[in-house]
Amino acid sequence: MASTAAERAQARLAYGLVAPATFLILIIYIVPIAVVIGMSLTDYTLISDYYEFTGLENYTRMLDEEPFRNALWNTFVYAAFLMPLAFGLGLVIAIAIQERQQFRSILEVLYFLPVTATLTAMALVWAALMDSRQGVLNGTLELVGIPGLNWLGSEALVLFSLAIISLWALIGFNMVLFLAGLTAIPKSLYDAAAIDGADGAIDKFLKVTWPMLGPTAMFVAVTNSITAFKIFDTVAVLTQGGPNRASEVYLYLAYLEGFEYFNMGYSAALSLVFLAIIFAFALLQALVIDRKVHY
C-alpha cells in the first residue's frame, strides 16, 4: 500500500496523541484486571512468594464453601430490603418536593446532605444512635413504650440496621435523580392530561409521571442495585461481619479472605465473580434503558 509522507506523519501524530490515554487506561484498568484474573488461577498468598497454578480450583471451591453462600445470601437480604425502600422513598420525596413552591432548594440540600457526607464517619454516628443501651433510637422507642432493640448486635436485625444506614445515605441521591427526571416532564403534558380528564393524583401519576420517569426509574434501580451489592464500609466499621457472621456480606468476605486470611488467589476469584455480577446489572441497564427510551 503506497502512502505518502504526509499520511505517515499524520498517522504518527494520531498514535502519538492517543498514546498517553491508552497507557493510562492500560496501567489503571486493563493490567490490574489481568493481574487479578491471573492471580485467581493460583494459590498465591500474601505471606509467601511461592505459588502454584491451580486452574479453576478457586472457583469450584466457592460453590462448596458455606461462607461464600452465607455472604451471598446476606448481601441479597440486605439489598432486597434496601432497594425497594430507597427507590420508593426517593420517588415520594422527589414528587413531594417538586410540588412545593417554598423552601424547595432548602429541602433539596437537606435531603442531599447525607450523600455528601463520608459514610465511614457517619457510620460511627449511627452506631451511637443505634447503641442498644444509650442510643437515641432505643431511648425514643422506650419513651413510647416499645422495648429497645439490639440494632447492630442481633443476628436477625443487623442486616436491616445496616440497610437503614445505607437508606439514609441513598435516598438523597435517588431524590436528586428523580427530581431531574420530574423537572424534564413538560408541564403541558399535565395540562393536556387535566383536560383529557386525568386530573386526579393517581391518574396523573399513572398516565404521565410514571411512564415519563421510566428511563430515570430504570437508571435509579440499576445504580441502586450496584450500590447495594457494594456494601462494605459500614460493615467494616460497625460490625466486622458480626454477630456470628450475620452481616458478613460479599465484599467483606473477599476482604477477609485476602487481607485477614491472606488467600489472595481465592480473594481474587471472589472479586471477579463480583465483577461479573455488577457487569450483569450494567448490561441489563444498557439493554433495557436503550429500549425504553422511545422519546
Which residue's CB is nearer to other proteins, number 52 or number 191?
Answer: 191
Q: Residue 116: which of 177, 181, 178, 172 has the closest Cα? A: 172
Binding residue (CB under 8 A) for other proteins from 38, 55, 139, 200? 200
Dihedral sign from CA coordinates of 37, 39, 40, 46: negative
Q: Print burial letters for 44-55: b (CB count within 10 Å at least 16), e (below 16).
A: bbeeeeeeeebe
Binding to other proteins (CB under 8 A): which residues in 224-263? none
Stretch that binds other proteins, among 60-68, 125-133, 203-211, 224-232 (CB under 8 A): 203-211
Write down the least CB distance from residue 279 to other proteins, Å.
29
Stretch that binds other proteins, among 37-45, 113-121, 182-190, 270-278 (CB under 8 A): 182-190
| Residue 249 near residue 78 (C-beta atoms within 8 A) | yes
Q: Residue 235: which of 104, 90, 119 has the closest Cα? A: 119
Which residue's CB is nearer to other proteins, number 43 or number 203?
Answer: 203
- DSSP 8-state class, residue 146: P
Applying CB under 8 A, does 203 fall inside the site for other proteins?
A: yes
Binding residue (CB under 8 A) for other proteins from 37, 85, 129, 212? 212
Helices 66-99, 158-183: inter-axial angle, 10-degree rounding: 40
Q: Print burial letters for 211-235: b (CB count within 10 Å at least 16), e (below 16).
A: ebbbbbbbbbbbbbbbbbbebbbbb
Binding residue (CB under 8 A) for other proteins from 101, 202, 276, 291? 202
Binding residue (CB under 8 A) for other proteins from 18, 186, 259, 286? 186
Binding residue (CB under 8 A) for other proteins from 36, 41, 189, 288? 189
Judged by the rule CB under 8 A, the positions of this chain that interact with other proteins are 186, 188-189, 191-200, 202-203, 206-208, 211-212, 214, 294-295
